[in-house]
Amino acid sequence: MPDDLRDNRLLLRPPTVDDGADLWRLARDVGSLDLNSEYHYLLWCRDFAATSVVACVDDRVRGFVTGYVRPDVPDTLMVWQVAVDPGVRGRGVAARMVGELLSRRAPFGQVFVEATVTPGNAASTALFNGLGRDLGVPVGRTALFAAEHFPGSAHEPEVLFRIGPVVPGPA
């Protein structure tokens, strides 16, 4: 495959309902995410498109970030899931998607990014530490959910990463 991420063939855009099945398949196939129902991804693409992004190459979804804004914390974009197709990993797709979301959400006042990461998820830890480093802003970490909070599985604890505040660049 040519370096389709360097020759402007990577398109970052909000998801549509038509992307819901692709998000579900990608979440299933990456194997490291908690897989939600197909219905969940359809609703997410409809109801939270403004706070989510898909990465497409040649009209094929190759990555996504789902996020939302908590009503009680309107200055914070909560990143729910990040998935990148194995064929394009290691090329900065996840960071570009999160950066796209930040630039899109800055006019709405979201200057912090939060995400939960399990201790065993080295890729997400690197993504969010790198985001803070690249933006020159603090990355805070606090325990959020203990393993005991997940009674139906052997789920690892979740650590809350809080990055920011991000100062929006010139328009």
pLDDT above 50 for 171: no
Burial of 17: CB neighbours in 10 Å, binned 0-12, 13-18, 19+: middle
Q: Which two tokens stand for residue 106?
A: 């800055």
pLDDT tens for 47-65 read: 999 999 999 998 899 999 9
**Is residue 170 in a domain?**
no
CA distance 67 to 40: 13
Going by their DSSP bridges, the two strands 76-84 and 112-117 should be labelled as parallel
pLDDT at 74: 96
**Is residue 169 in a domain?**
no
CATH code at 114?
3.40.630.30
pLDDT at 2: 45
**Is residue 81 in a domain?**
yes
- Integer-rounded Cα Rg, in Å, for the chain is 16
**Is residue 116 in a domain?**
yes
pLDDT tens for 23-38 read: 999 999 987 788 899 9
pLDDT above 50 for 105: yes
Domain that holds residue 70: 10-163
pLDDT at 5: 54
Burial of 139: CB neighbours in 10 Å, binned 0-12, 13-18, 19+: middle
Going by their DSSP bridges, the two strands 60-69 and 139-145 should be labelled as unpaired
CA distance 107 to 93: 23
| Confidence band of 68 (pLDDT split at 50, 70, 90) | very high
**Is residue 106 in a domain?**
yes
pLDDT tens for 112-137 read: 999 999 998 999 999 999 999 999 99
What would the mean pLDDT of 86-97 be, rounded to a whole number?
Answer: 93
* Distant-in-sequence, close-in-space partners of 76: CB < 8 Å, separation ≥ 6: 69, 70, 110, 111, 112, 113, 114, 162, 164
CA distance 29 to 130: 25
pLDDT tens for 70-91 read: 999 999 999 999 999 999 989 9
Burial of 99: CB neighbours in 10 Å, binned 0-12, 13-18, 19+: middle
DSSP type of residue 46: H
Residue type, 6: R
**Is residue 4 in a domain?**
no
Total domains in the chain come to 1
